[in-house]
């Protein structure tokens, strides 16, 4: 791969280190990326001088440096996810007359980052900064459906981990597992009066460059409104696909649930 510019190789190497659970050897990085070992050593040394990686001589391994952390922190400060998603939510509101949200997972909660609503929309419990149990919200389940099975099991190990707001929604790990499997196959999640009586939502997930669920876009309407979940889901899925594109992400491969 000598035709690949050095900057591209360095970025690929940085991304590789970021995806690993801990420091790795230069040989392992070279083998995984298909690069000459000598080139990887040169890149690592140059990146170490700038603080993006650090060398652990006793372990003969390399890990991320402070500069990489600073870049990640700056990314969060700039709020790019919200900036990229806001015009998509506004467009959805215009097209559907539904209330649109952008949500992310925070542990076993859905954390709402954005909310856009049509004029004279009824008040909802959701709002920017509000957290709700992820297993009850369409946004939360759209994201949970694409997490590894072990991660979902860690968040919901037993029936005691489940709460309810309206007496509806999954109440055991088995019920949640079956619901997530159906919603993963459908490509969207549906919540019917599990958060608030009289309101229903649909949501679809957007993905990052590792095909991991990054955020969910949801639409909420009064349950009595004559619109099908499938019709609303089409808009949510299209918006989530566009957000995935804007994030430089890629959708997950179709197949069995993540392990």
Output the domain CATH number for residue 54: 1.10.10.10
What gap in Å lies between CA 33 and CA 46, rounded to an integer? 18
202 and 121 assigned to the same domain: yes
User: For 177, left (φ over 0), alpha (ψ -120 to 50), or beta?
Assistant: alpha
What gap in Å lies between CA 69 and CA 86, rounded to an integer? 26
- For residue 207, what are its two tokens? 């993905």
Give the pLDDT band of residue 226 (cuts 50, 70, 90).
confident
Mean pLDDT of the chain: 89
112 and 193 assigned to the same domain: yes
In a domain, 63, yes or no: yes
In a domain, 255, yes or no: no
What gap in Å lies between CA 258 and CA 189, rounded to an integer? 17
In a domain, 163, yes or no: yes
User: Taking a C-beta distance cutoff of 8 angstroms, is the pair 223, 233 a contact?
Assistant: no
129 and 232 assigned to the same domain: yes
Number of domains in the chain: 2
138 and 38 assigned to the same domain: no
- Number of neighbours of residue 72 by Cβ within 10 angstroms: 12
What gap in Å lies between CA 203 and CA 187, rounded to an integer? 9
User: Taking a C-beta distance cutoff of 8 angstroms, is the pair 192, 166 a contact?
Assistant: no
Q: What is the DSSP string of 91-139?
A: HHHHHH-SEEEEEEEETTEEEEEEEE--TTPPP-S--TT-EEETTTSHH
Query: For the segment 134-171, what is each residue's pLDDT rounded down to a tens digit?
Result: 999 999 999 999 999 999 999 999 999 999 888 899 99
Query: For the segment 83-140, what is each residue's pLDDT rounded down to a tens digit?
Result: 899 999 999 999 999 999 999 998 899 999 999 999 887 778 777 888 999 999 999 9
Closest by CA to 97, choosing from 220, 216, 188, is 220
Handedness of CA 213, 214, 219, 220 (dihedral sign): positive
93 and 204 assigned to the same domain: yes
19 and 144 assigned to the same domain: no
The CATH number of the domain holding residue 229 is 3.30.450.40
Q: Does the pLDDT value for residue 227 go beyond 90?
A: no
100 and 53 assigned to the same domain: no
Q: How wide is the angle at C-alpha 170 spanned by C-alphas 81 and 110, nearest 5°?
A: 20
pTM: 0.71
Give the list of residues 6+ apart from residue 230 with CB closer than 8 angstroms, or none: none
User: Residue range 26-42: average pLDDT?
Assistant: 93
User: Taking a C-beta distance cutoff of 8 angstroms, is the pair 13, 25 a contact?
Assistant: no
Which residue range is the domain that position 31 belongs to?
Answer: 6-74
User: Taking a C-beta distance cutoff of 8 angstroms, is the pair 91, 203 a contact?
Assistant: no
Q: Does the pLDDT value for residue 1 go beyond 70?
A: no
151 and 223 assigned to the same domain: yes
For residue 240, how far is the Cα from the chain centroid? 11
216 and 123 assigned to the same domain: yes
11 and 131 assigned to the same domain: no
């Amino acid at each position: 791969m000598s035709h690949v510019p050095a900057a591209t190789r360095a970025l690929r190497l940085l991304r590789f280190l970021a995806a690993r659970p801990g420091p790795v050897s230069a040989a392992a990085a070279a083998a995984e990326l298909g690069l000459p070992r000598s080139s990887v050593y040169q890149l690592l040394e140059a990146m170490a001088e700038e603080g993006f990686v650090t060398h652990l001589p006793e372990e003969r391994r390399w890990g991320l440096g402070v500069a990489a952390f600073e870049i990640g922190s700056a990314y969060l400060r700039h709020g790019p996810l919200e900036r990229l998603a806001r015009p998509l939510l506004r467009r959805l509101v215009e097209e559907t007359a539904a209330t649109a949200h952008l949500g992310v997972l925070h542990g076993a909660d859905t954390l709402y980052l954005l909310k856009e609503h049509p004029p004279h929309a009824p008040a909802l419990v959701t709002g920017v900064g509000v957290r709700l149990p992820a297993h009850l919200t369409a946004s939360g389940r759209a994201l949970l459906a694409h997490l590894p099975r072990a991660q979902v099991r860690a968040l919901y190990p037993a029936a005691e981990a489940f709460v309810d707001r309206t007496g509806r929604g999954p109440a055991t790990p088995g019920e949640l597992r079956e619901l997530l499997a159906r919603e993963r196959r459908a490509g969207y999640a549906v919540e019917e009066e599990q958060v608030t009586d009289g309101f229903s939502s649909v949501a679809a997930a957007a993905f990052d460059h590792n095909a991991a669920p990054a955020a969910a876009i949801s639409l909420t309407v009064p349950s009595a409104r004559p619109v099908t979940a499938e019709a609303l889901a089409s808009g949510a899925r299209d918006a989530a696909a566009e957000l995935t594109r804007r994030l430089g992400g890629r959708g997950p491969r179709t197949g069995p649930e993540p392990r």
